[in-house]
Amino acid sequence: MEVIADLHIHSRFSMACSKEITIKGMESAAVEKGINLLGSGDFTHPLWLKEMKAELEKVEGAGLYRVKGSGSGVSFIPSVEVSTVFQDHSKTKKVHNVILTDDIEKAEALNSALSKYGDLSADGRPTLMMSAAELVETVINVDENAFVFPAHAWTPWFGVFGGMSGFDSMKEAYGDQAKRIYALETGLSSDPVMNWRISANDKYALLSNSDFHSLQKMGREANVFELEKVTYGSLIKAIKDKDSKRFIRTLEFYPEEGKYHFDGHRNCNFSADPAADNGTLCPVCRKRLTIGVLHRVNDLADRPLGYTPKKAIPYAHIVPLIEIVGYVMGKGTYSLQVKVMRDALIRSLGPEFMILTKTPLESIAEIAGNETAEAIGNVRSGRITAIAGYDGVFGRIEMLKRSEEKAAPKKIKQPTLSSFLDGKKG
Ligand SMILES: [Zn+2]
Ligand SMILES: [Zn+2]
């Protein structure tokens, strides 16, 4: 069966996360999205783990969990993101990693091993004073079935390849434990096409997850598998043995929409396309720009843009339905009218992923009007205009060709380096 999985998420016990994230809330959001396999998030946090134990039950023989007594079809996989902080050649490195396991009892054993390196109750995504290599070794020593992969591999400060404190290769980051890394998470600001430019990454499965901090953002990226039986073992096998054709597709943000695509300075309201090759200094404050994901990919790439490896796993770009509806209505995604329309679409047409990728546009138009159908069609076919994000500022996607006055109200003009130079000249 087709399985849509979002494996990296957060509970309300992680910093800057919505207080509304509960296990039952996650289950209903997953049903609306069409997700059948969801990371639990934050299993290292004692209070969240307590909730997991109280509210989840084992799916017998699957190495997965479900809400007690529920027939929703949503399975949970114990997961957590941890931040490893360590010194490498006298430089401080911070690498975020996701850990998956098939058993809450093993999660508890992992917690007791990891608690030696940091305070697990301080944050749902704990900071551990250990190297990324030590993390992998420690985790696998406790639980040989656990699965570790680098989170949002390209983000500037916490990505294994990040432009501000990252490494140039898995081997540099994970040392002799690199052999136990089978996948990397591409993150919101990069997509498979960008990752395919680095031949050293061919051996890794490219995972896409939402890393959500509120339920609304669940599944903004996800992985699609074709599994005979939905079990932890078959999921991990499909990832490790990525050429087996069990890992069939990823659903991706347009990478420009991610908040670290271009270089830039949020406070200076300045962004730069690294392709313009104008250096890495901010023309406003004269300090080093936050180096974005595209810049790092360009640095490490040994292939031209557009190169597709032979065994590449396909992908489709998506924009969350609530964003599309909000864009068409010219209203924010938290507006009640937007939510009502999104809910009506899902009630009539089925889960969000179905609407975004498969539902005939005529059926969408009948419920939400022609513009919404057209916007979804444009997202499917890539007929969009993207304004790239930078230094923590999300990018924007224009999904319809609109005249200026009809365009979304919050149009922020981003200065470019050339506009600054022009300004100086003038
Ligand atoms: Zn992270
Ligand atoms: Zn600046």
Which ligand approaches the C-alpha of residue 280 most closely?
A: 2
Judge whether 328 lies within some domain: no
Which ligand approaches the C-alpha of residue 390 most closely?
A: 2
Residue 424 has pLDDT above 50, yes or no: no
Give the model confidence (pLDDT) of 49-90 as tens digits: 999 999 999 999 999 999 999 999 999 999 999 999 999 999
* Ligand 2 centroid, distance to 421 Cα (angstroms): 15
Which ligand approaches the C-alpha of residue 188 most closely?
A: 1
d(CA 398, CA 379) in angstroms, rounded, equals: 9
* Ligand 2 centroid, distance to 109 Cα (angstroms): 45
Which ligand approaches the C-alpha of residue 15 most closely?
A: 1
Which ligand approaches the C-alpha of residue 267 most closely?
A: 2
Confidence band for 418, pLDDT divided at 50, 70 and 90: very low
Judge whether 278 lies within some domain: no
* Ligand 2 centroid, distance to 278 Cα (angstroms): 14
* Ligand 2 centroid, distance to 420 Cα (angstroms): 12
Judge whether 391 lies within some domain: no
Mean pLDDT of 94-107: 98
* Ligand 1 centroid, distance to 175 Cα (angstroms): 21
Number of folded domains that form the chain: 1
* Ligand 1 centroid, distance to 95 Cα (angstroms): 8
Judge whether 282 lies within some domain: no
Which ligand approaches the C-alpha of residue 265 most closely?
A: 2
The backbone region for 351, taken as left when phi is positive above 0, alpha when psi lies in -120 to 50, beta otherwise, is beta
Those residues whose C-beta lies under 8 Å from the C-beta of residue 246, and which sit 6 or more positions away, are 225, 226, 227, 234, 237, 238
* Ligand 1 centroid, distance to 151 Cα (angstroms): 6
Which ligand approaches the C-alpha of residue 266 most closely?
A: 2
* Ligand 2 centroid, distance to 388 Cα (angstroms): 17
Which ligand approaches the C-alpha of residue 272 most closely?
A: 2
Give the model confidence (pLDDT) of 202-242 as tens digits: 999 999 999 999 999 999 999 999 999 999 999 999 999 99
* Ligand 2 centroid, distance to 292 Cα (angstroms): 14
* Ligand 2 centroid, distance to 190 Cα (angstroms): 23
Which ligand approaches the C-alpha of residue 16 most closely?
A: 1
* Ligand 1 centroid, distance to 293 Cα (angstroms): 14
Which ligand approaches the C-alpha of residue 289 most closely?
A: 2
Judge whether 11 lies within some domain: yes
How many CB atoms sit inside 10 A of residue 363's CB?
15
Query: Quick check: 196 and 308 in contact, CB under 8 A?
Result: yes
* Ligand 2 centroid, distance to 311 Cα (angstroms): 41
Judge whether 80 lies within some domain: yes
* Ligand 1 centroid, distance to 96 Cα (angstroms): 5
Domain that holds residue 115: 2-256
* Ligand 2 centroid, distance to 290 Cα (angstroms): 9
Which ligand approaches the C-alpha of residue 160 most closely?
A: 1
Residue 44, both tokens: 């290292």
* Ligand 2 centroid, distance to 270 Cα (angstroms): 7
* Ligand 1 centroid, distance to 98 Cα (angstroms): 8
Give the model confidence (pLDDT) of 9-25 as tens digits: 999 999 988 999 999 99
Helix (H, G, I), strand (E, B) or coil at 404: helix
* Ligand 2 centroid, distance to 220 Cα (angstroms): 30
Q: How far is CA 299 from the centre of its chain?
A: 22
Which of the residue ranges 103-112, 180-189, 402-411 would you say has the lowest mean pLDDT?
402-411
Confidence band for 395, pLDDT divided at 50, 70 and 90: very high
Question: What's residue 409's pLDDT?
Answer: 46
Mean pLDDT of 335-357: 97
Question: What's residue 404's pLDDT?
Answer: 56
Q: What's the predicted TM-score (pTM) here?
A: 0.92
Mean pLDDT of 159-175: 94
User: In sequence order, what E strands does 70-221 have?
Assistant: 75-77, 79-88, 91-100, 127-128, 147-150, 183-185, 205-207
Question: What's residue 426's pLDDT?
Answer: 34
The closest of 208, 187, 219 to 29, measured between CA atoms, is 219
* Ligand 2 centroid, distance to 268 Cα (angstroms): 5
Using a 10 angstrom Cβ sphere, with 0-12 exposed, 13-18 middle and 19 or more buried, the burial of residue 411 is exposed
Which ligand approaches the C-alpha of residue 94 most closely?
A: 1
Confidence band for 422, pLDDT divided at 50, 70 and 90: very low
Residue 420 has pLDDT above 60, yes or no: no
Of 419 and 337, the structure prediction assigns the larger pLDDT to 337
Which ligand approaches the C-alpha of residue 82 most closely?
A: 1
Query: Quick check: 115 and 128 in contact, CB under 8 A?
Result: no
Mean pLDDT of 185-192: 95
Task: Report the CATH number at residue 28.
Answer: 3.20.20.140
Which ligand approaches the C-alpha of residue 80 most closely?
A: 1
* Ligand 1 centroid, distance to 158 Cα (angstroms): 6
Radius of gyration of the chain (CA): 21
Helix (H, G, I), strand (E, B) or coil at 93: strand
* Ligand 2 centroid, distance to 266 Cα (angstroms): 8
Mean pLDDT of 118-138: 97
Which ligand approaches the C-alpha of residue 123 most closely?
A: 1
Residue 411 has pLDDT above 80, yes or no: no
Count helices and strands in the chain by DSSP H and E runs: 14, 18
Question: What's residue 421's pLDDT?
Answer: 42
